[in-house]
Structure 1
Amino acid sequence: MKDISRADTALRGRLLWFVERPEEHGAGAVRYIEDGLLVLAGGRILAVGETSALRPALPAGAVIHDHSGRLITPGFIDPHIHLPQTQVVASWAAQLLDWLNTYTFVEEQKYGDPAHAARGAAFFFDELLSNGTTTAVAFCSVHSASAEAFFAESERRNTRMAAGKVMMDRYAPDALTDTPQSGYDDSKALIGRWHGRGRQLYAIAPRFAITSTPEQLEAAAALSREHPDCLVETHISENLEEVATAKRLYPECADYTAIYEKYGLFGRKSLMGHSIHLSESERQRYADADAVAVFCPTSNLFLGSGLFDWKAMREPRRPVRIGVATDIGGGTSYSMLQTMNEAYKVLQLQGQRLDSLALFHAMTRGNAIAIGLDHLIGSFEPGHECDAVVLDARATPAMAHRMETVTTLPEELFILITMGDDRAVEETYVMGEPKKPRKRG
């Protein structure tokens, strides 16, 4: 048995995590312990196994958080979300470009005020942790103050997060644009201040090709070359009008993907939000570059953007890494459970199906792989940071009623995905510490 004499904390419950993709490796991808113990030291996993085997070896002072009977999985990961759009959710509009101009750009201007940004960040993190999300990759506004507020709040809560100041220098209000030089300078300063500080990471964030001039895309690429360990986050092929506009603005490029290729922003660190309207050639180039296609189902449905083709992306000869994300505020729920609920339906409409194990893998280890952090988060392997969520499949009367007929773990997981939300999250752990905000009143 591994020496656990240094342990200071343990989580007890029904432990579930993944070591491979269930859709490719079946039962061999799954690790499940009916009465398990996660043994921690300094927030990292020392050992995982049966409670009966590990508990007697715990040192006398170790704190045990007992969630016997409850399901414990790695914390959920959201690879595409917008900090300044929390008050944009559920805004009635036409499709993407109208929605941006009518609502989103109006709200994002407010994040130039540090006090407003700080209030928004506190609310944002409360919502994430209430829903069991322990890691996200976020777009802030164009203002450095918004990124400062994001990282300061994340540091206070000790969450592992990535974010970036949006870079955009055209087709937006004056109060919401930078320049190629100021976007570069502000981003570089934020990288120097926050990237690698504790659990904070930086994502270079040219919003999308429409709102960046060629000069700004060149500046973003320069940042990426200078800081190759930073992520790159952007948007692509979300909406047909957007695709046509991008091609009109960059006529020398054969397709939308070619724009990001031309400016050196398309590679293994690139998180390409939406990625709906892609040709076979573009999908092949995603695979060749090891770029990530980020599926945002609730946003795609709400804005009428289109249906993400999971099967085409995972074609066996050229599988593309996929992330699944809420995309608040085009997205309509902070819950990764509800996001996977809608992902399932989007795929059903195309004659594609993912079972509950594959859906749970997608929002834990799968998303960790997508953002290049599967060596740190997304599973319960020894050495990993212990971010975890405790789930109750009987959290509401309707769920409890449905659970009366359930006999298997996959059935229970599918109920959590289909019927669950923040009410099904009993606790959220960040580096082994309970962090779910408690309701007031």
Structure 2
Amino acid sequence: MSARPQAYRAALLYSLDDPASVGVAASYRHLEDGLLLVEEGRIRALGPAAELLPGLAPTVEVRHWPDALITPGFIDTHIHYPQTGIVGAGGEQLLDWLTRHTYPTELRFADRDYAGQVARFFVGELLRNGTTSALVFPTVHPESVDAFFAVAAELDLRMLCGKVLMDRNAPPALCDTPASGYEQSQALIERWHGRGRLGYAVTPRFAGSCSDEQLHLAGRLLREHPSVHLHTHLAENRREVTWVRSLFPERSSYLDVYAHHGLLGPRSLFAHAIHLGDSDCRQLAASGAAVAFCPTSNLFLGSGLFDLGRAERLGLKVGMGSDIGAGTSFSLLQTLNEAYKVEQLQGRSLDPFKALYLATLGGARALGLDERIGSLAPGHEADFVVLDWNATPLLQFRLQHTTSLAERLAVLLTLGDDRVVQETFVAGVSRHRREG
């Protein structure tokens, strides 16, 4: 991080709260000509440029983007870095897709050097798309965790990751045992959790790939290390739900499998959560757990439509997940574009300020990190992105026909992609700058 104070001038926009809770008008702060002051990796102040500029010391450099928008860095609450090489591999729904595409790809991640190469490319894609924090699936191999965290630590990223736990219903070379999974996870937690801006997530792949003993030991890890997270999949596909029910006939639901083993809590995040009853959703909300809304992968694999309206009614925390590689874009702008369509198919419209919330502060709340990331408020870590309103000819032309901030933001979230991201800052340091 840079210790020297820096100032960044542009339009500023960030969420204050969930529009579903406080109403749209009270949910965000916008400064048409704002100034963001950064020092030692944190946001120290922000306000109208006309008010703050006269008080700056002469030595403070001011970078100015007259036609750009600064927002908090995007937060991806569910993504698989080893699946970067199979994005767009189609033809099947979830369980067959795992067998045909995912498991053969993940076998290669026992090789630390290969895992490191993929991790570096993966992180580069995140930054190119304005994503500054993510909850990341590796593979069952400890080497895959070491490789990812090494790259993230080098760039001072706020990242969460943890070794996959999987002791059945997968290729033998991708299976651990309850004991080895527990021991390897313990070692990785000691090595990486709390190092710099890194955090560990206990990561059973999903109930279908874990025995009762493995899930029991995952719960034990959470009890022994109360500051780590829990990251897994839940009720993504109807066939998957039926299969899990057959594997755990004594449990009342898919969610109850996890609840029985102590995996529900305020630091738990469940990806997808599409095919759940109301009682399970209420239990998730009451536990303080969160879910990742993954529209591009849900559509690509034909898994179903996430009910965001129900989540709002029940007070369930929700973040956005690209879910690379069943997901089809690293861009959370494009992910929100697909989320809008999912909402339309269910008779609702996704407000652009709600979309911004889901990709920033909502994601931070889903991860229990909202005191650190997801906002431009003073005291937060200086993870932010500079978005170019004029990144493409179509975007530039379309914005000439808008009359309000809400309309401009809606257009940006619909037409935007990696080309919109002009620069990405991590802890106050520029980690990606668009060429040209």
The normalised TM-score by structure 1 is: 0.96
TM-superposition CA deviations, 1:249-295 (whole Å, max 9, x none) = 00000110100000001111110110000011111111211111211
Q: Which runs of 5+ in 2 are unaligned?
A: none
1:104 aligns with 2:102: yes
Which consecutive aligned stretches of 4+ in structure 1 deviate over 6 angstroms post-superposition?
none
Classify the secondary structure of the residue corresponding to 1:28.
coil
Among 407, 410, 415, the residue aligned to 1:411: 407
Are 1:129 and 1:437, in contact at CA under 8 Å, matched by a contact in 2? Answer: no
Q: Could you tell me which of 320, 323, 335 is aligned with 1:324? A: 320
| Per-residue Cα deviation, 1:219-265 (whole angstroms, up to 9, x for no partner) | 11110001111110000100011001111000000110100000001
1:18 to 9, 15, 22: 15
C-alpha distance in 2 between matches for 1:126 and 1:7: 25
- Which of these residues, 376, 390, 396, is aligned with residue 394 of structure 1? 390
- What's 2:34 paired with? 36
Q: How does 1:222-237 map to 2 (within 5 A)?
A: 222-237=220-235
Matches within 5 A, 1:308-319: 308-315=306-313, 318-319=314-315
Instruction: Check conservation: 1:393, 1:415, Cα contact below 8 A.
Output: no
Asked whether 1:9 is paired with 2:6, we answer: yes
Match in the other structure for 1:380: 376
Single out whichever of 91-100 and 57-66 deviates more from structure 2: 57-66
TM-aligned CA deviation for residue 410 of structure 1: 1.1
Is 1:79 the counterpart of 2:92 in the alignment? no
In the alignment, structure 1 residue 420 sits paired with structure 2 residue 412: no
Matches for 1:299-314 after TM superposition, within 5 Å: 299-314=297-312
1:27: Cα distance to partner?
1.1
Q: 2 CA distance for matches of 1:68 and 1:188?
A: 49
Question: 1:7: Cα distance to partner?
Answer: 6.1
2:38 maps to amino acid:
L
Question: Structure 1's 14 and 62: CA in aligned 2 closer, same or farther, altered over 3 A?
Answer: same
| Residues 67, 390 of structure 2: 8 Å contact kept | no
Matches within 5 A, 1:278-293: 278-293=276-291
AA aligned opposite 2:19: P
C-alpha contact 2:231 2:268 (8 A) present in aligned 1: yes
CA drift of 1:22 comes to 2.2
The aligned residue for residue 173 of structure 1 is 171
Q: Secondary structure of 2:135's match?
A: strand
SS in 1 for 2:368: coil
Structure 1: which 5+ residue stretches go unaligned? 1-5
1:93 Cα deviation (Å)?
A: 2.2
Aligned partner of residue 77 in structure 1, secondary structure: strand
2:261 matches 1:263: yes
Q: From 79, 87, 90, give the equivalent of 2:88.
A: 90
**Matches of 1:217 and 1:429, distance apart in 2:** 38
**Correspondence 1:137-216 to 2 at 5 A:** 137-216=135-214
Task: Give the Cα–Cα distance (whole angstroms) in 2 for the partners of residues 99 and 213 of structure 1.
Answer: 22
Give the Cα–Cα distance (whole angstroms) in 2 for the partners of residues 433 and 407 of structure 1. Answer: 34
Identity %: 48
Q: What secondary structure is seen at the aligned counterpart in 2 of 1:87?
A: helix
Name the CA distance, whole Å, in 1 between partners of 2:164 and 2:131. 22
Deviations, residues 6-65 of structure 1 (Å, cap 9, x unaligned): 961111110001111123322122111111111111010111111122122222322322
Indicate conservation of the 8 Å contact 2:423/2:434, yes or no: no
1:116-155 correspondence to structure 2 within 5 Å:
116-155=114-153
Query: Post-superposition shift, 1:417?
Result: 1.0
| 1:438 shift after superposition | 5.2
> Is the contact between residue 27 and residue 353 of structure 2 (CA under 8 Å) also seen in structure 1?
no
Distance, in Å, in 2 between the alignment partners of 1:352 and 1:182 is 46
The alignment covers a number of residue pairs equal to 433
| Contact 2:182–2:218, Cα closer than 8 Å, also in 1 | yes
Work out whether residues 323 and 366 of structure 1, in 8 Å CA contact, stay in contact via their aligned partners in 2. Answer: yes
Amino acid paired to 1:113? D
Q: CA deviation at 1:439?
A: 5.7
* 2:141–2:163 Cα contact (<8 Å) kept: yes
Match of 1:3 in 2: none
The equivalent of 2:60 in structure 1 is 62
